[in-house]
Structure 1
Amino acid sequence: MKSETSNRIKINPGFWSGLSQLGIAPHDIVRQAQLPSTIVTDLVVSTSEYFAIWQAYSELMGDTAEAIIKLATVFETAHYPPAALATFHARDYRDALNRMARYKRLCPPEGFRISENDERCTIQLEWQNANQAGPPVLVGITLAYLLELGRRGTGQPLQALSVEFMHDMGDESVLAAYFGCSIRTGAACNQLTLHRRDLDRSFISYNEELLEVLTPILDQSLSDQEQNRSITDTVKWIMKRSFTRGRADIRYIASELGMSERTLQRRLTDEGVTFKQLLAEARHEQALLYLADPSLEIKEVAFLIGYEDQNSFYRAFRQWEEDTPSSWRVKQERWRGGLVTD
């Protein structure tokens, strides 16, 4: 069960303006995505519609890499929504990235985690509320935007240390030229690694007065959104983040939410679900996501969704899909191959 708001994504009007600058009319995107024309003015779409819009943009551009870099560089800072605009007026690159990680939750489905270690800062892309990963062009745009943030904020031609993508991204030479490093595809996750020293660079666009106005507004918006978010969505999101740590049990989830196990069980009962049901749903959704990546072995998928042995995963998958993981993967690959051929 999903909350009403978790599948509603706002599209910033500046997105359509950016496309127009590239010579692509909004209605061409909508037509390519086979969506109602009213979406251009409604500005609120479902996750599947959101992904379809990005995929349509990529198809109209012809090459995923070209689509990523052209939009990332042509998009004017003034067109960003308030949550993103605030980051350009942060004190330094580190402050900007941390603000972006926090306020990105206002704009699902993509989000990211930041970790600093030795001379590296790694930013890993995550999907907040979606049952599937977004199209490659959205992945690329998100990571390119984070580097673009640093370049525009500092006024320096910053370069990445490394960039990794799970899927094919088109002309990798285009991406390598933009990011300033080699590009790796077929990776286990989508992530951008920066030189940690760059995070200390001050922003020439720092505006303390503007941040004093925007920060309370954004914090309140985030608080309101999280209060309205169903406990079901929150529990599943935490589960998916915890599988590989072997900590997706009710005690751990309850502690993450700051409540007792009994309170968590009661809240879930109020929403008509059980912890066991949610655990199965979260594993099912993540299994389909990982199986779509041919670089992952079946035993790796089992581990990534919290199964200690492959046989338990096979039994569960048969209950979910009435098929084996291997057979399901083959059928999906054939289906995708048919789409490409057509």
Structure 2
Amino acid sequence: MKALTSDRIKIPLGFWAGLHQLGIAPHDVARKAGLPLTIITESGVTTAQYFTIWQAYSDLIGDNSQGIIKLVTAFETAKYPPSVLATYHARDYRDALNRMVRYKQLCPPESLHITEEGENCVIELNWLTTEQHGPPMLVGITLAYLLELGRRGTGQPLTAKLVEFSQPMGDVQALEAYFGCRVRVGAQRNRLTLHRIDLDRLFVSYNEELLEILSPVLDRSLDEQQRRRSICEKVKWILKRSLIGGRPDIHTVAKELGMSDRTLQRQLTVENTSFKHLLTQVRHEQAREYLADPSFEIKEVAFLIGFEDQNSFYRAFRLWEGDTPSNWRIANLTNSTEK
């Protein structure tokens, strides 16, 4: 889905066509979401509307697991945008996944991060904004599609190694049957773990000529979008993805941005900030978000924002808020309950 602005999302025709195949009329989804019928044909919706549409689909289908499996297997590739076609016609599964991660940047609000290590390939789903997290149905569809992509591209009944969801997803056994592996709910992160060996499998749908047409156009769109974003926004986005369990340094971030440490620091200075300041700002923002969720223990919050021990986190949080994480959580949860 191509982003029209920072908060406009194009819903592909394939989404509505998939719903129609499941016996769900698009106008029913619009009414359930409390949105005008024009969203079906509009050029774009806001992030909030996008999430509401997915929640409406979830409510109409009745069970997240069935909604995930039915829709992801019903979609018609030909009715999806160029960013999806470019993954389906990739050379092999690894190429397809890397293209998906890259071109997903054109499709807010989801963000994907892929890591290959040992026998595993782990793909983690994050959000471009910390204020809103997508509904469980959208999370499930996103991870299920990554496996479905491999199955369709290779023509093989591929299975995952592990699937992790942070929220309840309905019938877990049905999801385990679809993914072919154990499914964990209540996890800290939303992740799909694949067999790394499967990434070398060639795609029977590989189309070199089509890729030669699509890739330059998509790459130009992505480059233009990234140029429009300030360097501060880019750094903060990378930091939010990379905080868990460690402290990303300026060299790592600069490398991902394709520039030297010195160039990055110079550009940040032009925007009246520094790498150290942005790192502190991101940690502070993420700490407040995680603490507002009572399901996270304090020690987990410390780990998630890159502190090696809980005491260091306590000292930093006192500097930020003038109070301990525990007291801040109690006060803010109480205030939100009273509203």
Distance 1:95 1:330, change over 3 A: farther
CA contact (8 A) 2:14 2:77 kept: no
Mapping of 1:210-289 within 5 angstroms? 210-244=210-244, 247=247, 257=257, 258=259, 259-266=263-270, 268-269=271-272, 282-289=282-289
CA contact (8 A) 2:265 2:274 kept: no
Distance 1:120 1:255, change over 3 A: closer
CA contact (8 A) 2:113 2:241 kept: no
Instruction: Look up the match of 1:63.
Output: 63
Q: Distance in 2 between matches of 1:227 and 1:77?
A: 30
Deviations 1:82-129 (A, max 9, x none): 111111111111111111111111111112122222222111112234
Deviating more after overlay: 275-284 vs 96-105? 275-284
Instruction: Look up the match of 1:304.
Output: 304
Instruction: Look up the match of 1:24.
Output: 24
How far 1:155 sits from its partner (Å)? Answer: 0.9
Q: Does 1:325 align with 2:329?
A: yes
Distance 1:76 1:318, change over 3 A: farther
CA contact (8 A) 2:292 2:332 kept: no
Distance 1:24 1:117, change over 3 A: same
Instruction: Look up the match of 2:171.
Output: 171
How far 1:4 sits from its partner (Å)? Answer: 8.9
CA contact (8 A) 1:5 1:229 kept: no
Distance 1:151 1:328, change over 3 A: same
How far 1:207 sits from its partner (Å)? Answer: 0.9
Instruction: Look up the match of 2:320.
Output: 316
Q: Distance in 1 between matches of 2:68 and 2:268?
A: 42
Q: Does 1:75 align with 2:75?
A: yes
SS at match of 1:42: coil
Q: Distance in 1 between matches of 2:267 and 2:4?
A: 22
SS at match of 2:7: coil
Q: Distance in 2 between matches of 1:150 and 1:66?
A: 20
Deviating more after overlay: 4-13 vs 238-247? 238-247
| TM superposition score normalised by structure 2 | 0.85
How many pairs align?
A: 327
CA contact (8 A) 2:130 2:286 kept: no
SS at match of 1:206: coil
Q: Distance in 1 between matches of 2:295 and 2:193?
A: 21
Instruction: Look up the match of 2:139.
Output: 139
CA contact (8 A) 1:291 1:329 kept: no
User: Which amino acid counterpart does residue 326 of structure 1 have in structure 2?
Assistant: I
Instruction: Look up the match of 2:107.
Output: 107
How far 1:204 sits from its partner (Å)? Answer: 0.9
SS at match of 1:112: strand
SS at match of 2:37: coil
How far 1:275 sits from its partner (Å)? Answer: 7.1
User: Which amino acid counterpart does residue 51 of structure 2 have in structure 1?
Assistant: F
Mapping of 1:106-125 within 5 angstroms? 106-125=106-125
How far 1:226 sits from its partner (Å)? Answer: 0.9
Distance 1:254 1:114, change over 3 A: closer
The alignment's C-alpha RMSD in Å is: 2.9
| TM superposition score normalised by structure 1 | 0.84
Q: Distance in 2 between matches of 1:64 and 1:131?
A: 23
Mapping of 1:81-100 within 5 angstroms? 81-100=81-100
CA contact (8 A) 2:89 2:206 kept: yes
User: Which amino acid counterpart does residue 118 of structure 2 have in structure 1?
Assistant: D
How high is the sequence identity, in percent, across the aligned residues? 59
Mapping of 1:143-222 within 5 angstroms? 143-222=143-222
User: Which amino acid counterpart does residue 161 of structure 1 have in structure 2?
Assistant: K
CA contact (8 A) 1:18 1:71 kept: yes
Distance 1:190 1:223, change over 3 A: same
Deviating more after overlay: 163-172 vs 36-45? 36-45
How far 1:156 sits from its partner (Å)? Answer: 1.0
User: Which amino acid counterpart does residue 87 of structure 1 have in structure 2?
Assistant: T
Q: Distance in 2 between matches of 1:202 and 1:146?
A: 15
Q: Distance in 1 between matches of 2:246 and 2:192?
A: 26
User: Which amino acid counterpart does residue 290 of structure 1 have in structure 2?
Assistant: Y
Q: Distance in 2 between matches of 1:98 and 1:59?
A: 32
CA contact (8 A) 2:121 2:194 kept: yes
SS at match of 1:202: coil
Q: Distance in 2 between matches of 1:79 and 1:288?
A: 40
SS at match of 1:146: helix
Deviations 1:198-221 (A, max 9, x none): 111111111111111111111111
